[in-house]
């Protein structure tokens, strides 16, 4: 699982700038009362082969009468509770404050590894201004400048010191279990489906971890195929400071989707497709994961409601039109067979080998049937294609002036490739690489 790093500190100390540095300004996800929404709050970062999740908790405004522990925002308590490492950000220009002392007191009670950083310290590595931050009792302060990018790599390396690079799995892909996660907003029936699976299939092993960062992994076997169920709905050990952690966790959803081969997106038929469903679906797509849409409680709605639901899926989940839709009832165990088949189809498509000769032939046939539009004096010329990756499958197309290929033509090519290889339930990425040889256009 990706380690989780939480950024903590009072307002205006540069947490958002540091967040942007650590995540390289990638799109982020935030939790609010409506569910998953786009914002700059949760983000993915990478250092070499090591990936991690960063949480910008926002600024603390402790009430003078109750202090930081009582008035800390709910999402901040959850973020610190689920973090593996907390980076406490302070500001050398404004110096040590009473708020910093309140935050330090809270973090000492949180029983988390804390890295104390002093931001806006460009050119102040040996400055006496850093000395006062020792008073916080959190060890040696690490000077950084988020705005100038100074000290950021050292900070990330320090945060990840307990999380070594993940070694490549030598286990053959055929022998490895299919990692599977069931995701969706609260109370759509995820636990009911998981219990139905565990009751239907032989449970090989069950291990309940005690750490906040581990999901429960349940090995299953069905029709000779091994699966590993990543169960994010499992219990988490409660700490003294964090009595109430939200059942629905953005961090755990991100981790489970990133770690899975196939994600089952469960939607409640009685409630329709919500914005939260669409945002979760969007993250699955961005993560490049194979996906199956499971419409639970299908038996609980009438013909008119079913028609309305189908339209809702077509509009709100239009970007997942490649995904199979399974209508089911987890509590009645209806539709479990088709769901397993859809999962197998999605995984097979995501890991399918696409031979270069076949890809190149399909590319030429597609161009012959419908050539790309000319852009000014340039007409894109496509020469050959090969597979650039799996899970999700990536097709790399080589040629000239390919920067001018528009979105409509990309979708046309994707459709041709999907149809031939029968790719369902998986994103398909097309990469275009243009030759920089000025004489390339005169070639065959």
Angstrom distance (rounded) from CA 13 to CA 120: 8
Q: Is 159 annotated as a binding residue?
A: no
121 annotated as belonging to a binding site for a ligand:
yes
Query: 197, 206 in Cβ contact below 8 A?
Result: no
Flag whether 120 is marked binding. yes
According to the annotation, is 232 in a ligand binding site? yes
What is the C-alpha to C-alpha distance for residues 53 and 316, in angstroms, rounded to an integer?
A: 27
Residue with tokens 């980076």: 87
423 labelled ligand-binding: no
- Asked if residue 186 belongs to a known ligand binding site, the reply is yes
- Residue 13 marked ligand-binding: yes
Q: Is 295 left (phi over 0), alpha (psi -120 to 50) or beta?
A: beta
> CA 255, CA 78: separation in Å to the nearest integer?
15
Tell me the C-alpha distance between 300 and 168, whole Å. Answer: 46
Question: Hey, how many other C-beta atoms are within 10 angstroms of the C-beta on 197?
Answer: 22
| Cα-based distances in Å from 27 to 24, 88, 388, 397 | 9, 23, 24, 26
Residue pair 279/272 in contact by the 8 Å Cβ criterion: no
Q: How far apart are CA 212 and CA 209, in angstroms?
A: 8
Q: Is residue 35 annotated as involved in ligand binding?
A: no
Chain position carrying tokens 């003078």:
64
- Is 92 assigned a ligand-binding role in the annotation? no
Q: Is 56 annotated as contributing to ligand binding? A: yes
Is 108 annotated to bind a ligand? Reply is: no
Rounded Cα–Cα distance for residues 309 and 318 (Å) = 13
Is 188 assigned to a binding site?
Answer: yes
Cα gap 316→232, rounded to integer Å: 25
Within 223-267, residue ranges assigned H as helices are 250-259
Q: Does 162 appear as a known binding residue?
A: no
Measured CA to CA in angstroms, residue 189 lies from 185, 231, 253, 294 at distances of: 9, 13, 16, 10
57 carries a ligand binding annotation:
yes
Per the annotation, does 185 bind a ligand?
Answer: yes
Instruction: Compute the residue count for the chain.
Output: 444
* Residue 195 is assigned to a ligand binding site: no
Has 231 been labeled as part of a binding site? yes
69 is in an annotated binding site: no
298 is in an annotated binding site: yes
Look at residue 349 and give its three-state secondary structure.
helix
Judge whether 14 is annotated as a binding position: yes
Annotation-wise, does 111 bind a ligand? no
Q: What sign results for the dihedral spanned by CA atoms 27, 31, 32, 35?
A: positive
Please tell me whether 117 is known to bind a ligand: no
Q: In what order do the strands lie in the sheet with 381-389?
A: 381-389, 394-400, 429-434
Q: Residue 399, annotated ligand binder?
A: no
Task: Say whether 336 counts as a known binding-site residue.
Answer: no
Secondary structure element (H or E) that encloses residue 361, with its range: helix 356-369
Query: How do beta strands 42-47 and 50-56 pair?
Result: antiparallel
The annotated binding site for GTP is made up of: 9-16, 56-60, 119-122, 184-191, 231-235, 296-299
Tell me the binding residues.
9-16, 56-60, 119-122, 184-191, 231-235, 296-299
């Amino acid at each position: 699982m990706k380690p989780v790093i939480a950024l903590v500190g009072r307002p205006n100390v540069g947490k958002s700038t540091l967040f942007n540095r650590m995540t390289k300004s990638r799109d982020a996800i935030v939790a609010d009362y409506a569910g998953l929404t786009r914002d700059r709050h949760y983000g993915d970062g990478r250092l070499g082969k090591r990936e991690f999740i960063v949480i910008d908790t926002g600024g603390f405004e402790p009430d003078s009468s109750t202090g930081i522990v009582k008035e800390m925002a709910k999402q901040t308590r959850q973020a610190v509770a689920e973090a593996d490492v907390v980076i406490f950000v302070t500001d050398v220009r404004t110096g040590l404050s009473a708020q910093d002392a309140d935050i330090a007191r809270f973090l000492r009670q949180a029983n988390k590894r804390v890295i104390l950083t002093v931001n806006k310290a460009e050119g102040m590595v040996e400055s006496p201004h850093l000395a006062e931050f020792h008073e916080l009792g959190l060890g040696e302060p690490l000077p950084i400048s988020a705005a100038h990018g100074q000290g950021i790599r050292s900070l990330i390396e320090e945060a990840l010191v307990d999380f070594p690079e993940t070694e490549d799995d030598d286990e053959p892909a055929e022998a490895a279990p299919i990692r599977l996660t069931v995701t969706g907003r609260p109370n759509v029936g995820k636990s009911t489906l998981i219990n139905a699976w565990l009751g239907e299939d032989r449970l090989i092993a069950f291990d309940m971890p005690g750490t906040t960062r581990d999901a429960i992994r349940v090995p299953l076997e069905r029709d000779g195929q091994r699966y590993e169920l990543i169960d994010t709905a499992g219990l988490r050990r409660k700490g003294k400071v964090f009595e109430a952690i939200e059942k629905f966790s953005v961090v755990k959803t991100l981790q489970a989707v990133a770690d899975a081969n196939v994600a089952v997106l469960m939607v409640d038929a009685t409630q329709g497709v919500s914005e939260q469903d669409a945002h979760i679906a969007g993250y699955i797509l961005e993560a490049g994961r194979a996906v199956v849409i499971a419409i639970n409680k299908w038996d609980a709605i009438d013909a008119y409601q079913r028609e309305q639901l189908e339209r809702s899926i077509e509009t709100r989940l239009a970007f997942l039109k490649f995904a199979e839709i399974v209508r089911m009832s987890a509590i009645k165990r209806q539709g479990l067979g088709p769901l397993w088949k859809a999962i197998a189809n999605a995984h097979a498509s995501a890991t399918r080998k696409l031979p270069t000769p076949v890809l190149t032939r399909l590319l030429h046939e597609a161009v012959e049937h419908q050539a790309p539009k000319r852009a000014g004096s340039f007409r894109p010329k496509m020469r050959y294609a090969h597979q650039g990756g799996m899970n999700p499958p990536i097709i790399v197309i080589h040629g000239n002036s390919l920067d001018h290929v528009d979105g409509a033509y990309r979708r046309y090519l994707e459709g041709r490739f999907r149809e031939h290889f029968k790719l369902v339930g998986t994103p398909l990425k097309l990469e275009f690489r243009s030759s920089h040889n000025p004489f390339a256009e005169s070639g065959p």
